[in-house]
A and B are shown apart, each in its own frame.
Chain A
Amino acid sequence: MSAIAAPARIGRLGLYAFLVGTALFFVIPLLVVISTSLKSLDEIRDFSIFAPPSSLHFAAWWKAWFAACTGLNCGGVHVGFWNSVRILIPSVTLSVLAGALNGYALSHWRVPGADLILLALLLGAFIPYQVILYPLVKITSTVGIYNSLPGIIAVHILFGLPVMTLLFRNFYKGLPDELVKAARIDGAGFWRIFASVMLPLSVNILIVATILQTTGIWNDYLLGLIFAGRENQPMTVQLNAIATTSTGEIEYNVNMAAALLTALPPLLVYFASGRFFVRGITAGAVKG
């Protein structure tokens, strides 16, 4: 037995060693940030950030939330947190709803040029923000929503349209056409079929889409920076401003606590919904 099994066992050992090593590469940065956020500044100065904290200090978390400074504003990241929430809720709701309706219209109704619309959406999903940023600023300021909450929400909905529509379209395409036909014979119209046939079947895809948009919009930086305006800066924008403001000694513990607070909502979504999250990112990534 041992003559054959020995190399196999060594291979198996190597396999686990590599997986564990890689897992450490993935976990260590997060552990470093968590442990440093719980240290005092003295300890950070005297010991390595890779060392575990000798005692737990929650002062940095308190300061990050209530009193961290960006320039002269010392309100902490809770300001950005609530801004992000205000941006997130309408943006996610409306873009998921728009995606569901579009996807339904494109999959079960005959629409002229449907293939062309799909191709336009697919290509649109890949256009870098930077390519259309300046014209979009011009358009939103002409309309009067540049640098405002409605402005950033509109831009998030806009950039969500391609992926959301394609996600729902592919899902609805997989549902049998007979469902719609039967409902039509019963006299139901476009809206009625959507509300009482399609939506009840869409719970899973609605969850996937909501998770995809929630993490995407929460983690956005560029659009928030350009379109939200000073009053509505999302948490990521505020975090980066705090972390790159360097007056006096850098308070690494406060900066890292602020980073964790910013990362926490999407991480919670991820850990609470692993399977749906994976479906979302892979579907969002591999369309078609």
Chain B
Amino acid sequence: MRIRNLAAKAVLSPTVLVMLVCFYGCALWTAYLSVTRSALLPNYQFAGLFQYVRLFATPRWNVAWSNMFLFGVLDILGTLGLGVLLAVLIDRQVRLEGAFRTIFLYPLAISFIVTGLTWQWVLSPTIGVQNFVRGLGWSDFVFDWITRPDRAIYTLVFAGVWHQSGLIMAITLAGLRGIDREIWRATRVEAIPTWRVYVSIVLPMLRPLLVTCVVLIAIAVVRSYDLVVAMTGGGPGYASDLPGKFVVDFAFERANIGQASAAAAVMLASVLTVLAPYLYLELSRRDR
């Protein structure tokens, strides 16, 4: 018995070691670098909150940081709203359900790079929507958000919703299909309108699932990098920068390890903040 367990332990030990060193060790390493004087090269002399003070005094970081909230709120609302709505509509026994599902889900198979480039082309004033509408005869039509510093961040929402709402639809639809048939029968007897049943009964029953969805989208927002790189390159200037891009640029292009680490630590803190309600749900469900 003990010898047999040895095999299980032997199989798991590289994973445990790698998780300890590469995930948690590296995260601590980054956290420590963020409280040192590191600049071009790592420097392990403790410097308190120096890097954070400097970070939040950097205009580019402040733009990236507030963009994260702006993009995050709109992306969550858009993706969750559209995803849940599509799931509810498809749940109403539509014809060609399979075709609709296939269409709503295919963007998920496409990389954020291709997604970002595609939307960059579609929204480009010179070849995209603006050019198309002008061609229809409305010659002073303007839709140049992707090139405007005050609007570029909003264009990311189009691409984000396009890419992710299929996932929310699939998760929600699975949840809707798991709802007890008796509940529907009861509401029909009471003659409650269908939309009321969804809003007041069915969707509240799916609350844990929807919380999970919000957490998933929020974490994707905090991590997001490829999409903004391909779509706007963080521009014009750094107007559509996001923390995920700030960290990579400062670590590898601008070679400022201290600032990159402080920004990365802020990202980690953001993820943990978002994750707290999810983990709470998840762990309390396990206990049950």
Contact = CB atoms under 8 A, between A and B. Distances in A.
A262 B5 CA distance: 45
A285 B27 contact: no
A133 B248 contact: yes
Contact of B8 (A15, A109, A124): A109
A263 B110 CA distance: 6
A288 B89 contact: no
Interface of A: 15-16, 18-19, 22-23, 25-30, 32-33, 36, 44, 47-50, 98, 101-102, 104-106, 109-112, 117, 120-124, 126-136, 139, 158, 161-162, 165, 184, 189-191, 215, 218-222, 226, 236, 239-240, 243-244, 252, 255-256, 259, 262-263, 266-267, 269-271, 274, 277-278, 281-282, 285-286, 288
Q: Which of A26, A133, A161, A220 has the most CB of B within 10 A?
A: A26
Interface of B: 4-5, 7-9, 11-12, 15-16, 18-27, 29-30, 33, 82, 85-86, 89-90, 92, 94, 100, 102-114, 117-119, 121-122, 127-128, 131-132, 135, 162, 166-167, 170-171, 174, 209, 212, 216, 219, 222-223, 225-226, 229-230, 233, 243-244, 247-248, 251-252, 257, 260-261, 264-265, 267-268, 271, 275, 279, 282, 285-286
Given A134-B251, A270-B109, A26 B103 contact: yes
A267 B115 CA distance: 13
A111 B167 contact: no
A19 B89 contact: yes
A189 B4 contact: yes
A226 B24 CA distance: 20
Given A22-B82, A127-B23, A135-B25, A252 B121 contact: yes
Contacts of B209: 286
Given A134-B261, A240-B229, A139 B127 contact: no
Main secondary structure of the interface of B (DSSP, over half): helix
Contact of A161 (B7, B18, B111, B271): B18
Contact of B117 (A26, A240, A282): A240
Given A243-B117, A282-B171, A124 B267 contact: no
Which 10 pairs from chain A and chain B are nearest by CB? A219-B111, A190-B7, A109-B8, A132-B26, A270-B109, A135-B26, A105-B8, A130-B247, A135-B29, A128-B223
B111 A266 contact: yes
A9 to B, nearest CB: 13
Nearest to B132: A48
Contacts of B86: 19, 22
Q: Which of B90, B118, B229, B267 has the most CB of A within 10 A?
A: B118
Nearest to A45: B127
Contacts of A277: 105, 109
Contact of B18 (A36, A158, A221): A158
9 contacts: A22-B104, A25-B162, A30-B106, A49-B122, A49-B127, A49-B131, A109-B5, A215-B109, A221-B111
A128 B118 contact: no
B260 A274 contact: no
B117 A239 contact: yes
Given A122-B279, A131-B27, A285-B216, 15 more contacts: A15-B92, A49-B122, A110-B5, A121-B19, A124-B19, A130-B267, A131-B30, A219-B110, A221-B230, A226-B252, A240-B229, A252-B127, A263-B109, A266-B110, A277-B109
A50 B123 CA distance: 12
A127 B27 contact: yes
Given A120-B24, A161-B15, A278-B170, A19 B112 contact: no
Q: Which of A266, A267, A278 has the most CB of B within 10 A?
A: A278
A281 B111 contact: no
Contacts of A219: 110-113
Contacts of A134: 30, 33, 251, 257, 260-261, 264
A112 B252 CA distance: 40
A158 B20 CA distance: 12
A174 B260 CA distance: 43
A130 B248 contact: yes
Contacts of B128: 49
Nearest to B225: A222
